[in-house]
A and B are shown apart, each in its own frame.
Chain A
Amino acid sequence: MASTVGVIFSSINDENVPELTRVRSMGSVPYGGRYRLIDFALSNMVNSGITTVGVITKQNYQSLMDHLGTGKDWDLARKEGGLILLPPYSDESETLYKGRLEALKGATSFLKKCKQDYVVLSDSDSVYKLDYSDVIKFHEEKNADITLVYHEHQVSKSRYYVTFETANDGRITDLCINPIAKGVKKNYINVMVARTSFLLNLIQDAIQHGYNSFGRDILVPGVKNMRLFGYKMNGYYANIDSLVAYFNSNMDLLKKDIRYEVFGNRDVYTKVNDSAPAKFTDGAVVKNSLISDGCLIEGTVENCILFRGVKIGKGAVVKNCILMTDNYVGHDCNLSYVVSDKNTIIRDNRVLAGCELQPYFIGKGSLI
């Protein structure tokens, strides 16, 4: 593959899921029993042969730093390149960035130092698998200025997303940043490819002209004055743009085909913790659930995602729940449609219920 550098926005749509991002950035939102959302973009990069990745952070990034560490778990602890955190205020900027473009301005000195020909940009609020080298090949073949990756799916609610239309050769003919039309659309998944030098020029130009929106000031006019192409991504894609989307995407992993598609090759990397294997007692009844290392199951668990170190007491019945690391559920509790953040204690006999469209959320470290 052509030499490529990766850039991940770890904190760009945090406001979509305020419950989960109160104590962390989007990239470090726990997902799927042992992962964090950033693992998907980061693993995609590593599996595409990218060995230099800059991670742009904004606020609340302590937990992200703790997760990423030196990058060793992604094989990105390197002398040449590797994982590089790009925190705010580290460049010349005096204020905290607001949009994507300002965030990129803060990354220019990093990008200038990179010798790689191409740059891949990705957000970290999505679950997807993609070989970026295919996108770069497409980009080269089309002689594109910018290639935007899209996924075709039903659009329900108009919210921070970008849709576009393409000609037969993939060239983007129209691009909307506030689409009104409903139906199956080509949805930009916030993954793009460009030549590093082209992107740097674009940022330079944006600074000179005082642009501040990547969508409005660069992509929309770009349809006419640049060669913008759309690359179609197939396969599973979930954007975590609400607590319900978070809930549904986790539950998707209980479907065998999706689970195998996402994890079948064992190539989603994450920080490794040394928890003991999950333990089931004689009273355990488990159906259709993901159970992580360190769990102790003494009660009934159905259609759940249990993260590391979750303890389910005797006689407790837990259905359709996502319980994050080190949740403790006392005996004879009854939980359904609960999303519980890390380190929560739910005392004996508690009954808690949400519903499919409104899971009951419990904040990190709560005592119920």
Chain B
Amino acid sequence: MLRKKECVAMLLAGGQGSRLYALTSNIAKPAVSFGAKYRIIDFPLSNCINSGIDTVGVLTQYQPLILNEYVGNGQPWDLDRTFGGVHILSPYEAKQSTSWYKGTANAIYQNIRFMKMYDPDYVLILSGDHIYKMDYDKMLKAHKEAGAACTIACMEVPLKEASRFGILNTNPDGSIYEFEEKPAKPKSNLASMGIYIFSADKLFKYLELDEKDPKSENDFGKNVLPAMLNAGEKMFSYRFDGYWKDVGTISSLLEANMDLLGVTPKFDLDDQDFVIHSRSPLSPPAYVEGDVKNSIVANGCDIEGDIINSVIGTNCIVEAGATVKDSVLMGNITVKKGAMVNYSIIDEEVTIGENAVIGAVKEEACKVESKTAGITVLGRGITVKKGGKVSAGEIVDKDV
């Protein structure tokens, strides 16, 4: 029997994530911390293994160091395999030319040989910046039943937000008759989630056609999908009605973190039937002495201050008399005594000095006009000195 994989996943993890500002100055967006002990990439990788897909190419380009180290040999996701498993695919030098990944389609095109090693029948294309739990196998079944060339996962979004997405216009049977990338006047509210299943032969065919077209931007949404539709290929929508969040902006990242709180949260991480795997750090349990309300706290923390409506990542120290409210502390952060952190996202390895004041209370901060909608952001590794102050909505990536 020839060794092959029915479905290979390709995870686009090369984007810069410029709308996350200081949070992605040194790391790729999929490596950004989320939910106290995870990184964004844990979600698509866990989805893959929970859907029975054990061969994943991770396409990296922008600041891949931390991402590469984090993914490693894929063991935390059971993706260390002798045949298949997770592979980091960075741009490489070839005999004829050397090139960076130009667009999403070009990135996949440059790795056709990787996919062909597994002789797949189907290829699943994923993005590395979404928080969701999804069984891709159900989508694959739908793809097979419809006999489609391409199936696009989609969900309903509020019509006023629809122009931020690729919008699918569908027939009653779910087949797609029109695809509009970020339309000014959307005809429907069915948004593409950036998750595609292609029949492999069709994907390879249209990627090669797209590559030959000098006018193409080599983007799935803008070029490849419309080209397939124009050529009369069978394209279907696959409706998803679970939790899904694009965490490409500061406010959506904060919101998605807050969606984890509560006994019945909008997004449940403690789901025994669908475990989100991660490279769990080796830390002892959290020591808690302070007042912790409506929050989640990861292992390794030492909490003697007050924590309200917040997400506290691994190995954070919050000293007595300090308060953290409506905020996300990513990991390895020290908040010294008397400091106040409000409505902020604090990146890893930050030290906040005694009596420092970060951000303003949520109700006031929300009214502040800023790129981050009032949320204060402290970038990786900075130190805020004793008594230092960072106003609501500010983004800081140097010591203050």
List chain A positions with a Cβ less than 8 A from chain B: 32-35, 72, 253-254, 259, 262-263, 266-270, 272-282, 284-294, 296, 298, 305-307
Contact = CB atoms under 8 A, between A and B. Distances in A.
A306 B291 CA distance: 17
A354 to B, nearest CB: 22
B75 interface: yes
Contacts of B297: 277-278, 280, 291
Given A289-B289, A293-B280, A293-B299, 7 more contacts: A266-B315, A276-B270, A277-B312, A288-B288, A288-B289, A290-B287, A296-B263
Contacts of A272: 76, 280, 282
A289 B302 CA distance: 10
Interface in B3-17: none
Interface in B258-291: 261-263, 269-270, 275-278, 280-289, 291
13 contacts: A32-B285, A33-B284, A254-B287, A263-B284, A266-B284, A280-B293, A280-B294, A280-B307, A288-B289, A289-B287, A291-B297, A292-B286, A293-B285
B285 A291 contact: yes
Contacts of B287: 254, 259, 289-291
A252 to B, nearest CB: 13
B258 to A, nearest CB: 13
A142 B318 CA distance: 47
Contacts of B281: 266
Nearest to B281: A266
Q: Is the interface of A mostly helix, strand, loop or mixed?
A: loop
Contacts of A269: 282
A133 B35 CA distance: 40
B42 to A, nearest CB: 9
B353 interface: no
A280 B296 contact: yes
B126 interface: no
A281 B36 contact: no
B28 interface: no
B268 to A, nearest CB: 8
Nearest to A274: B277
Contacts of B366: none
B37 interface: yes
Nearest to B36: A277
A339 to B, nearest CB: 16
Contacts of A266: 281-284, 300, 315
A196 to B, nearest CB: 30
B35 A277 contact: yes
Nearest to B284: A263
Interface string B199-219: 000000000000000000000
Contacts of A279: 261, 263, 270, 295-296
B284 A32 contact: yes
B195 interface: no
A279 B280 CA distance: 17
A317 to B, nearest CB: 16
A296 B260 CA distance: 13
B341 interface: no
Contacts of A298: 263
B292 interface: yes
Contact of B285 (A72, A267, A290): A290
A305 B315 CA distance: 18
B282 A268 contact: yes
Contact of B269 (A34, A277, A305, A306): A277
A135 to B, nearest CB: 24
B284 A290 contact: yes
B299 A280 contact: no
B280 A281 contact: no
B382 interface: no
A33 B37 CA distance: 17
A281 B282 contact: no
Contact of A277 (B37, B284, B294): B37
Nearest to B297: A278
B262 A281 contact: yes
B33 to A, nearest CB: 12
Contacts of B300: 266
B298 interface: yes
A288 B302 CA distance: 10
Contacts of B312: 277
Q: Which of A32, A272, A293, A307 has the most chain B CB atoms inside 10 A of its CB?
A: A293
A266 B285 CA distance: 11
Contacts of A274: 76, 275-278, 280
A292 B282 contact: no
B270 A296 contact: yes
Nearest to B307: A280
A25 to B, nearest CB: 23
Contacts of B269: 276-277
Contacts of A307: 285
Contacts of B307: 280
A274 B45 CA distance: 14
B373 to A, nearest CB: 25
Given A272-B280, A277-B298, A284 B285 contact: no
A325 B263 CA distance: 19
A32 B286 CA distance: 11
A171 B298 CA distance: 48
Contacts of A293: 37, 280, 285, 298-299
B289 A281 contact: no
A262 B284 CA distance: 10
B140 to A, nearest CB: 24
A74 B104 CA distance: 39
B263 A281 contact: yes
Contacts of B296: 276-280
Contacts of A268: 282, 284
Contacts of A306: 285
A278 B298 contact: yes
Contacts of A281: 262-263, 293-294
B270 A275 contact: yes
A346 to B, nearest CB: 19
A278 B269 CA distance: 10
Nearest to B268: A276
Contacts of B75: 72
Contact of B280 (A263, A273, A289): A273
A282 B293 CA distance: 5
A46 B296 CA distance: 32
Contacts of A267: 282
Given A33-B285, A290-B285, A290-B287, A284 B277 contact: no
Contacts of A288: 288-289
Q: Which of B275, B278, B288, B299 has the most chain A CB atoms inside 10 A of its CB?
A: B288
Contacts of A296: 263, 270
A286 B288 contact: yes
Nearest to B310: A280
